[in-house]
Amino acid sequence: MPHTATNDYLCGMNCIARTLYCMALAALAAACGHRDEPAPPPAPEPEPPAVAERTVLVYMVANNDLGQRGWDAADIAEMRTAAATGGLGQDGRLLVMHKSHEGKSVLKEINSRGAVDTLHVYADDTTPVSAVSIAGMQRAFDDMRRLAPAAHYGLVLWSHGTGWLQDGMPDDGRRRAFGLDGSAMMNVSSLAQALDGQGFEYVYFDCCLMASVEVAYELRHATPLIAASATELPNAGMPYDENIPLLMQGLPAEAAANTFRYYDSMSGSSRTCTMSVIATDGLDALAEATRTLYASASALPQGVMPQAFERGVCRHYDLDHYAELIAGSDEALARWREALRQVVLYADATPRIFNSLTIQRHCGLSTNVVRSADEMALKGYAGLLWASDVASSLPWAR
């Protein structure tokens, strides 16, 4: 067709019409879509967990030979038995922060049916956090309060223990005060920092050698009550199936006494246990009384040592026996013992430890015996508060 002005006009009008038609369809589609697909409402906020009467946390550091040999699994089985048979009471919650021998940290709950619920898995692949670091402990405490809030809290510390020792055991330079996690342990001064302000009504040490006056004095502001052993404990630890109901009722002293009865009823090398319950609010007065006694003390007689609480190389001795051996007078010793009675609420011991260490004296607290100024520095002792506040008063330690 030949090109004309009329053809140009008609083509332009057709283009305009098609454009207007497409715009109308698009507008209609948008309007229909808006009308048929309204925006979803915001998701409701999750309900906060109910506040329990008491939450007990078992802080189980089993990344060691105890876990490899299954002692952690055995104790968790006992906890499940306790829970399934009513041991949590009407309104109790039982949590376990479990660092397994495989190196995984998981916060678990053992519910009233005896089943195990996973509350949180700690992913430490990129930035490892040790279970025996202050940060590792405190994150578990924070999660405990967030996921299982309660009016009262109790803590069980499960693992290896070496008492006050700050710089390692004589036979193992890696070992320190609490909780073997691979090759790491936690100094008692670090443990005090981790527990500071956490509000635990009691700390029950299900590990060896933690009923030390040095340990208790370091923790005196962290918890009002400590249950612990001055000696080694069997690998099986306390009977959780029997003790969980007591701990849930806020009765750690009864749990400690029950642990002692459990082992005292056995025979042979299995009859081995010491247990103590320590009230920390009396430790400042005991420290003052001990300073007074130490300031006028006489040196230990040649070749005489107090009751030992360890086999082989010993750094933990009976505190009362030590005070008796160095006291300047019977009157000073009597005044000191009155202060001790305000601290040790319960103490008991089997006649022997693993049938190889005879126990003739057991006041419920051990102590390091310093025989010279040079010994103040051994194993980091001088860095402890009891060493600087009390043991430094000894005439031969200055």
Residues 57-112 pLDDT 10s: 999 999 999 999 999 999 999 999 999 999 999 999 999 999 999 989 999 999 99
Read off the tokens for 325. Answer: 């051996």
Residue 115 three-state SS: coil
Question: Do the Cβ atoms of 62 and 159 come closer than 8 Å?
Answer: yes
Question: Do the Cβ atoms of 173 and 233 come closer than 8 Å?
Answer: no
- Residue 339: name the closest of 299, 292, 396 by CA: 292
Q: How big is the chain by its Cα radius of gyration, in Å?
A: 32
CATH node for 52-281? 3.40.50.11970
The pairing of strands 344-349 and 357-358 is unpaired
Distance CA 275, CA 258 (A): 10
- Residue 395: name the closest of 314, 316, 289, 300 by CA: 300
- The residue ranges of the chain whose pLDDT is under 70 are 1-39, 41-46, 124-127, 167-176
Question: Do the Cβ atoms of 220 and 192 come closer than 8 Å?
Answer: no
pLDDT at position 166 is 79
Question: Do the Cβ atoms of 273 and 289 come closer than 8 Å?
Answer: no
Question: What pTM did the predictor assign?
Answer: 0.87
pLDDT at position 17 is 45
Question: Do the Cβ atoms of 157 and 206 come closer than 8 Å?
Answer: yes
pLDDT at position 29 is 44
Half-sphere exposure for 374 (CA within 13 Å, toward CB): 0
Contacts of residue 251, Cβ cutoff 8 Å, sequence gap at least 6: none
Q: Go through 41-50 and write b for each residue having 16 or more CB atoms within 10 A of its CB, e for each that does not.
A: eeeeeeeeee
Contacts of residue 50, Cβ cutoff 8 Å, sequence gap at least 6: 149
- Residue 357: name the closest of 294, 305, 312, 299 by CA: 312
Read off the tokens for 394. Answer: 């000894």
Residue ranges per structural domain of the chain: 52-281, 284-343+363-397
Q: Which residues pair with 226 in a beta bridge?
A: 203, 278
Residue 214 three-state SS: helix
The pairing of strands 92-99 and 52-61 is parallel
CA 330 centroid distance within chain:
40
Q: Is the dihedral of CA 259, 54, 82, 72 positive or negative?
A: negative
pLDDT at position 266 is 98
- Percentage of residues in the chain with pLDDT exceeding 70? 85
The pairing of strands 184-186 and 203-206 is unpaired
Q: 159: left (phi > 0), else alpha (psi -120 to 50), else beta? A: left
pLDDT at position 270 is 98
Distance CA 35, CA 15 (A): 31
